[in-house]
Structure 1
């Protein structure tokens, strides 16, 4: 049944045009992604939505990985993938949630306990479902309940201390804080972590300078768990800032002011801790709120902190996510200063090595160490929010041309062997996209779409090979070497729409460990009343300024017109003012149209195309999952019995 559409300005374009190469390549990639998604689901998903997998899965790790493997089904649907994708995504999310509940990792439909590196990864799928169908009662109800695990409102999951403004443990979830971890909790990591830096400097017989730690050695393992419980299991860590995405996600459904307040309150608490620590963000805070409370007063050495294997990365990334979320919910761009301060301090601690400026990524008892180039992607994320020259300067000083500026086709491990750079979730080309949107590489649209097509073909070939047979991943034993097979769905997934997303939404892909998918614009198919571009319509955002976006729409269908609704912002947080129309065909147009709202409907005739330069104000609307047809009452949730 068709729903009543909200009022909005409309524009009609009938002039036919010869489609540019990028428009053709977008449709080619969309077609192959749609078919690849079907084959991926057929290969690994059983009729009830569960995955072909083992009868038993131990430890606290695991539920994030299957969610990650299939989350792009929902994301591709949001971009305009075929309608069946939403059905697949819904079935798989429900199937994984049930299956990993039976294994014991999930409780009340959310991870019982784990850290926000992995919660952040796994719940990207949940956030994409919000973009796909905000009318879903189940998802709205879940979002409210999941948020309550972190706001202190849930009586069972008391993760948050409202007085001290801290999350009470790095290991948290629907069962509350996990103050004592067991050897069973960590068993799936042991073989993998043998090649990582030791989490402590005083482990018996382990040389911290070797960069490795034998977790597979039983004696070392027992000592690690004991020291983790003593020094790391209680109190807050910056990694928990990724929880702001979960709270912002719930806010987009409900508009509950208390959720917005929680996000700003929590990031402000970490901002204040950095001030108390001389500007540097500490990586561990005790239950009393004291920095280094269980770590001999040291501000370094916390869980996933400055001394952890990832170091700087797991300080900067949660701060970036939280700062972007705070701006989204408040419109106040000053929240970006929380992360800018850390980037600037880290840069000032650097040194020149050859032609590169390298910065410390870790802090040990002996001081700063692990000097290497900083990742220029984080200033890019800040710039997409701020549009300020200062963030461009933060990017340029890192000499991005020497990092990874060329388009990459990632490999199965997620690490390019030539550059050594991580490409988690195949988010590999943020820097080349930025060079394009700045006007420095006009060939990027064609090149990224071709690169993505190559990636899909490689993934399909791997998925169809013996390596892609799920029966070969399953064993009855638990040797430390084979437990990493939990990542196989990610390694086999052929649904990677990076180029489509960047070009159509005018933004980089989300930050992989829990970032919301921010965007300058997004689209709806008005005829089908669903998210995404209509079939055979291509879009290209080719320029961004603080107060404008320039984009082209091309209808490649020569036999049917299309109705496209353009939304200002991924969550309607922006507002369009005026659209200046120019033609994509032989006829030159130079017309203007007053919009003054967050939506503009464009009627594209058969084979028609148009370029639009749209003036806008950013972060002036309440962010929401509302669509042009939304009817759901955010307060109309099921109320359970009290027994």
Structure 2
């Protein structure tokens, strides 16, 4: 009797196990069929198993560690509503950018494959920073009331990443349209843009229109910082030194010079506004935004031509160069002299040109930043084996010679993929920085491009592991600062949180996307490829999967992929370009010998990774031939609007 019961129990258990396995196989097969039906046939299967490379283990460890780091940071510095734990009042026009910057890369982390929760957190934090700085007085109608596009760019990079994370969010889509409309010419005195003269009417602009007159109150929190920079002009009456910024009586003379000479000009810095227009275009496909970008970038290209090949840093209300600076092409706000010189001209022109290239497919727009590089390269000099270029210009001519930061020419090479641009990067960069990583974390997360280029050239084979380890160590260092921080709200300056944000992504962007990270002051993130999870229907690389772009050239990339899960098959959609702007023309798997290329003609394809698979794919790309969009592969031609989150 006992034997019979044991037999029945055994048969029952076996039947249950069989049914579980049977239904699991059906579900697995159905998942595969769903992927095939919605994303097209699975064109690539990677079946060769192998030992995961060190970079793959490090990449996945970093992806997993960033989430608890983010939660620790948010819990420390925000209240239950999601607002920064800070003071009750904050005067002046500066500051909202720093609130947004505190969390600016959270949605990008999600778009790369971070946990779903980080997407919701990043949207809540955006909303609460908006409310908080509205109460402080810097924001009106959800947009900065009137500041410059270096600071707008720092704020709205965060906003652009929402399109990569989830373009179906109605609230963010509506905001994208509203913000872009603020820069269309509405024919009123409050219009930021003058379509007749093709100018943004002041270097300070926003939801309340152009700001032609500044007050002492506007500058109250920024004066101590600017006291460390050169004066805007040498001929300001009663002003002798930069320290005069902090002298209330003398500051009035500085303020008067700024209002008279700077505030009624368009300036190159305003080219960063093209990202806001491109952002709205990729949600809506509204041709007005596309035409605005073309018109505005072309206007600045014409000004370069009119100024003998050098971009002027000030254009008056009637479109005349030097209209309010005594005919001088230098002397504008964030121009060739004050406060930073060359970096502002390089960043703004590169942002404007790359956006125009993105939405038109016309590489001739890159001539705009090329003109800046030529202007300073023509004045370059050698010193102790290093190439130095001038950062500033005024009545004395070119001066303030320093090495050019490699990230600027690197971005141009990344867009063009030309040999000439590659050689330019090398000629302007210290060879030691190309041969070995010397990690540096700036305000943004894009300083380590030289050693990455060395890796692509074959000089620096350990770079992927090195940059991922350095990124991980930087995250840990910032977490330690968070844990040990005993500051009170009154002790904290407006940069306090940005300096401790542990979400450090440069290593992930370079290895996974094979791209330099975005230009911090308002640039979009351009890449050769991006990834989607077709099973979970979300952006980013699936759990347990790692990716490394090993080579980047004019015709495409070489991509290594690893499935670290020992028993589960993984599926990944690979798209050409961050915005689907590149068409994939051919693919082939590389094992001991290369397979023949499979010719395809589509924006994306699906890869099946067997358990433990380690494989390499060569991907051919026809670059900048597709209309850019935030749409995901399963959205079709039009992004659905699914309500507010």
After TM superposition, is the score higher than 0.5? yes
Q: Which residue of 2 aligns with 1:461?
A: 480
Q: Which residue of 2 aligns with 1:114?
A: 147
Q: Which residue of 2 aligns with 1:528?
A: 536
1:157 and 1:173 in contact (8 A); partners too = no
Stretch deviating more after TM superposition (223-232 or 123-132): 223-232
Scaled by the length of structure 2, the TM-score of the pair is 0.91
Per-residue CA deviation, residues 385-410 of structure 1 (Å, 9 max, x unaligned), is 11101111221221432668643444
Q: Which residue of 1 aligns with 2:489?
A: 474
Please give the alpha-carbon distance, in whole angstroms, between the structure 1 residues aligned to 2:370 and 2:178: 33
What is the CA-CA distance between 1:569 and the residue it aligns to? 0.3
Per-residue CA deviation, residues 507-549 of structure 1 (Å, 9 max, x unaligned), is 0000111110001100011111111100110000001111121
Q: Which residue of 1 aligns with 2:26?
A: none
2:391 and 2:400 in contact (8 A); partners too = yes
Per-residue CA deviation, residues 450-476 of structure 1 (Å, 9 max, x unaligned), is 1111111111111111xx34xx3422x
Per-residue CA deviation, residues 183-230 of structure 1 (Å, 9 max, x unaligned), is 11111112222211111212345446xxx4431111221111111111
Give 3-state SS (helix, strand or coil) of 2:281's partner.
Answer: helix
Q: Which residue of 2 aligns with 1:445?
A: 464
1:408 and 1:428 in contact (8 A); partners too = no
Please give the alpha-carbon distance, in whole angstroms, between the structure 2 residues aligned to 1:64 and 1:579: 42
Which structure is larger by alpha-carbon Rg, 1 or 2?
A: 2
Determine if the alignment matches structure 1 residue 238 to structure 2 residue 268: yes
> Residue 619 of structure 2 is aligned with which of 611, 614, 618?
614
Q: Please, which runs of 5 or more residues in structure 1 have no aligned partner?
A: 415-422, 476-481, 639-643
Q: Which residue of 2 aligns with 1:485?
A: 493
Please give the alpha-carbon distance, in whole angstroms, between the structure 2 residues aligned to 1:596 and 1:633: 20
Q: 1:142 to 1:8 in 2, by over 3 A?
A: farther
Please give the alpha-carbon distance, in whole angstroms, between the structure 2 residues aligned to 1:403 and 1:540: 21
Determine if the alignment matches structure 1 residue 131 to structure 2 residue 164: yes
> Residue 600 of structure 2 is aligned with which of 591, 595, 598?
595
Determine if the alignment matches structure 1 residue 360 to structure 2 residue 390: yes
Give 3-state SS (helix, strand or coil) of 1:151's partner.
Answer: coil
What is the CA-CA distance between 1:179 and the residue it aligns to? 0.6
What is the CA-CA distance between 1:165 and the residue it aligns to? 0.3
Per-residue CA deviation, residues 603-622 of structure 1 (Å, 9 max, x unaligned), is 21221222100112111100
Q: Which residue of 1 aligns with 2:290?
A: 260
Q: 1:54 to 1:372 in 2, by over 3 A?
A: same
Per-residue CA deviation, residues 12-49 of structure 1 (Å, 9 max, x unaligned), is 33332211111111111112212211211111122222
After TM superposition, list the pairs within 5 Å mapping 1:415-430 onto structure 2: 423-430=442-449
> Residue 544 of structure 1 is aligned with which of 542, 552, 556?
552
What is the CA-CA distance between 1:311 and the residue it aligns to? 0.5
Q: 1:187 to 1:441 in 2, by over 3 A?
A: same
Please give the alpha-carbon distance, in whole angstroms, between the structure 2 residues aligned to 1:426 and 1:530: 25
Please give the alpha-carbon distance, in whole angstroms, between the structure 2 residues aligned to 1:110 and 1:434: 37
Give 3-state SS (helix, strand or coil) of 1:572's partner.
Answer: coil
After TM superposition, list the pairs within 5 Å mapping 1:205-244 onto structure 2: 205-207=238-240, 212-244=242-274
Give 3-state SS (helix, strand or coil) of 2:425's partner.
Answer: helix
Per-residue CA deviation, residues 83-103 of structure 1 (Å, 9 max, x unaligned), is 111011111011111111121
Give 3-state SS (helix, strand or coil) of 1:487's partner.
Answer: coil
After TM superposition, list the pairs within 5 Å mapping 1:198-597 onto structure 2: 198-207=231-240, 212-401=242-431, 406-410=436-440, 423-465=442-484, 468-469=485-486, 472-475=487-490, 485-583=493-591, 590=595, 592-597=597-602
Please give the alpha-carbon distance, in whole angstroms, between the structure 2 residues aligned to 1:548 and 1:145: 37
Stretch deviating more after TM superposition (432-441 or 275-284): 432-441
Please give the alpha-carbon distance, in whole angstroms, between the structure 1 residues aligned to 2:634 and 2:269: 37
Q: 1:425 to 1:399 in 2, by over 3 A?
A: closer
Q: Which residue of 2 aligns with 1:159?
A: 192
What is the CA-CA distance between 1:9 and the residue it aligns to? 4.7
1:539 and 1:552 in contact (8 A); partners too = yes
Please give the alpha-carbon distance, in whole angstroms, between the structure 2 residues aligned to 1:248 and 1:620: 16
Please give the alpha-carbon distance, in whole angstroms, between the structure 1 residues aligned to 2:510 and 2:189: 41
> Residue 13 of structure 1 is aligned with which of 43, 46, 51?
46
> Residue 124 of structure 2 is aligned with which of 91, 97, 108?
91
Stretch deviating more after TM superposition (341-350 or 294-303): 341-350
Q: 1:274 to 1:226 in 2, by over 3 A?
A: same
Stretch deviating more after TM superposition (150-159 or 75-84): 150-159
Q: 1:562 to 1:9 in 2, by over 3 A?
A: closer
Q: Please, which runs of 5 or more residues in structure 2 have no aligned partner?
A: 1-33
Please give the alpha-carbon distance, in whole angstroms, between the structure 2 residues aligned to 1:157 and 1:498: 39
Q: 1:142 to 1:12 in 2, by over 3 A?
A: same
Q: Which residue of 1 aligns with 2:207?
A: 174
Q: CA RMSD in A?
A: 2.2
Per-residue CA deviation, residues 339-393 of structure 1 (Å, 9 max, x unaligned), is 1122112111122333223221111222221112222222210111111011112
Give 3-state SS (helix, strand or coil) of 2:447's partner.
Answer: coil
Give 3-state SS (helix, strand or coil) of 1:174's partner.
Answer: coil
2:94 and 2:218 in contact (8 A); partners too = yes
Q: 1:593 to 1:352 in 2, by over 3 A?
A: closer
What is the CA-CA distance between 1:591 and the residue it aligns to? 5.2
Corresponding residue pairs, total: 610
1:304 and 1:314 in contact (8 A); partners too = yes
What is the CA-CA distance between 1:5 and the residue it aligns to? 3.3
1:541 and 1:552 in contact (8 A); partners too = yes
Per-residue CA deviation, residues 310-345 of structure 1 (Å, 9 max, x unaligned), is 011111110011111111111111111121122112
Please give the alpha-carbon distance, in whole angstroms, between the structure 2 residues aligned to 1:406 and 1:249: 36
Please give the alpha-carbon distance, in whole angstroms, between the structure 2 residues aligned to 1:404 and 1:393: 13
Q: 1:164 to 1:446 in 2, by over 3 A?
A: same
What is the CA-CA distance between 1:66 and the residue it aligns to? 1.7
1:168 and 1:234 in contact (8 A); partners too = yes
